[in-house]
Amino acid sequence: MKITKFIVILIAVSLLTSCAGKREINDLAIVLAVGIDKGEKQKFKVTVEVVRASDARGQTGSPAGNAGDPMWIASAEGDSIFEAIRNISTYSSRRVFWAHNYVIVVNEELAEKEGIKDIIDFFTRNPELRMRTWIVATPDKAGEVVSTQTGLEVIPGEALSKLFRYNPISAVSPRTQIRDVHTAYLSESSDPIMARVKLQERVVPNKADGGGGGGEKPPGGEEKGKGEPSIKQIEMSGTTVFKKDKMVGTLSKKETRGLLPFIENVGTAIIPLTCPGKEKEKITVEVKKNKVEVLPFIKDNAPFYKINLSLTTNVVEANCDFDIDDRKMIDEIERNLEKKYKGYIKSALEKGQKEYKADIFELGKTFENKYPEKWKSFRENWDEKYAAAKFDINVKAEVQSGVLLYTPTQPGSRGK
């Protein structure tokens, strides 16, 4: 018996230390970002951002003309995504490897005309790719987005990934992963969404302007005028909306703020308001906590939803006299905030329900959870039921504190 156990353990250890199927890192083209556009001659154009490990560490050794580049950009076309990727291998000296990919970038023209069914199928079927990979849509060329060095990071794919990490601070785009898009696509009621990003030209001040830029044109930048070199940077820019697999429209940053409480936990959001009694001056509040309650009912054989949103906020900046103990002022600030957030939600609902006819708020799922039997009769014509749904929106805001200041910020007074 002891000999048998010993043999079993020996076999197990040998399997664990086996080199079968090993992949040397020097044989792999490690993809950190992929962009998918409409091809010029074939259906898809796929662009991959591959890291040069030595150059990413600040070392040299890249081919002539590319010294110091931390990444290698390759692209190819094909009638399928897989064919396009295989066509990259005709001139890549390494095998394309997906396990470390940060983000998938989809061009909106492609998403509108061809749909994203093939994209969902390939990237969920690929065993190397993680289902938690970020996925975004862009009005720009996806290949340009994944090849543009932007922000503080050397690698564009890493920069995009970190935009999502800190995205809850601004709360202007959803945090979409390929698994979210896949789940919504397969749903009987919900429709997919993607975070929207775009390339934005920003002026880089030079040293003469006090910006410390040294007066030199930044890499990849363009001279906009004397002392005004510019560089393209990637920024979050709202939400791209789909009806099943076809793009049907977008939500602005403000409309996205009305959508986010329905689908994810919002970390913080900065809301500028008009100072009570002083229209030209602003007071800024930061949403610290929010909780949404969606209660479905049946009214006239159609869904009816009562939406309750509670907000806990702090005043983080006041350009007018602000005192946390001034109850009248606090009440007016809370009313203004409630009105503004109610407007965000109404605007997002009208866009999704009336204009795009896409259930991006997961209202069908909420209805099914409460009325599973009734859902059976609603399921087949949910688009019609969703279009006829009515809403009662209630927002309750609370200004909790003025952070470290409890009284107005005022200049000191001197006696005569």
Please give the pLDDT value at position 136: 97
CA distance 134 to 330: 40
Domain limits at 173? Answer: 24-198
Weakest-pLDDT range from 36-40, 213-217, 357-361: 213-217
Residue 2 lies in a domain: no
Same domain, 269 and 155: no
Cα(404)–Cα(416) distance, rounded to whole angstroms?
31
**Would you say residue 205 lies in a domain?**
no
User: For position 157, what pLDDT does the model report?
Assistant: 85
Cite the DSSP H helix spans in 166-293: 167-170, 178-186, 253-263
Residues 266 and 353 in one domain: yes
Residue 225 confidence (pLDDT) above 60: no
Written as six digits, the tokens of 186 are: 């397969």
The verdict on 164 and 280 lying in the same domain is no
Do 189 and 45 share a structural domain?
yes
Structure confidence at residue 214 (pLDDT) = 46
- For residues 42 and 115, state if they share a domain: yes
Confidence of residue 163 (pLDDT cuts 50, 70, 90): confident
Q: CATH number of the domain that 298 lies in?
A: 3.30.300.210
Q: Give the integer Cα–Cα distance in Å for 172 and 180.
A: 18
Q: What is the structure's pLDDT at 18?
A: 47
If one compares 94 and 185, the residue with the highest pLDDT of the two is 185
| Planar angle of CA 25, 27, 31, nearest 5 degrees | 70
Do residues 183 and 256 both lie within one domain?
A: no
**pLDDT of the residue at 374:** 94
Residues 124 and 62 in one domain: yes
Asked if the model's pLDDT at residue 53 lies above 70, the reply is no
Comparison of pLDDT for 408 and 117, the residue scoring more: 117
Residues 6+ apart with CB under 8 A from 127: none
Q: How would residue 52 be classed by pLDDT, with cut points 50, 70 and 90? A: confident
58-70: pLDDT as tens digits: 444 444 444 457 8
Beta bridge partners of 283: 273, 318
Neighbours of 169 (CB within 10 A): 12
Is the confidence at residue 144, as pLDDT, over 90?
Answer: yes
Share of the chain above pLDDT 90, in %: 54
Assigned domain for 156 exists: yes
Top-confidence residue, 21 or 37: 37
Q: Report pLDDT for 169.
A: 75
Q: Is residue 30 part of a domain?
A: yes
Report, as an integer, the average pLDDT of 51-77. 65
Residue 191 near residue 358, CB atoms below 8 Å: yes
Per-residue pLDDT tens digits for 309-325: 999 999 988 888 888 88
Q: Is 41 in the same domain as 168?
A: yes
* Residue 8 in domain: no
Is there a contact between 50 and 76 (Cβ–Cβ < 8 Å)?
Answer: no
**Mean pLDDT, residues 289-305:** 94
Element (H, E) at 241: strand 229-243
Structure tokens at 233: 């940077």
- Kindly report which listed range (30-39, 90-99, 137-146) carries the lowest average pLDDT score: 90-99
In this prediction, residues 201-215 reach a mean pLDDT of 59
Confidence of residue 16 (pLDDT cuts 50, 70, 90): low
Domain end, chosen from 183, 198, 213, is at: 198
pLDDT grade for 22, boundaries at 50, 70 and 90: low
Residue 50's Cα: distance from chain center in Å? 22
Both 61 and 167 in one domain: the answer is yes
- For residues 272 and 157, state if they share a domain: no
In the listed set 198, 231, 262, which residue is the last one of a domain according to the structure? 198
Which three-class secondary structure state does DSSP give residue 283? strand
Residue 7 is assigned to a structural domain of this protein:
no
Look at residue 382 and tell me if it is in a domain. yes
Domain's final residue, options 198, 217, 237: 198
- Mean pLDDT score of the chain: 84
Question: What is the tally of structural domains in the chain?
Answer: 2
The DSSP element (H or E) to which 133 belongs, if any, is none
Average pLDDT over residues 214-223: 51
**C-beta separation of 274 from 335 below 8 A:** no
Q: Is the pLDDT of residue 230 over 90?
A: no
The residue that leads in pLDDT, 147 or 393, is: 393
In a domain, 241, yes or no: no
Q: What mean pLDDT do residues 292-307 have? A: 95
Q: What is the pLDDT of residue 413?
A: 55
Same domain, 47 and 187: yes
Query: Do residues 43 and 148 share a domain?
Result: yes
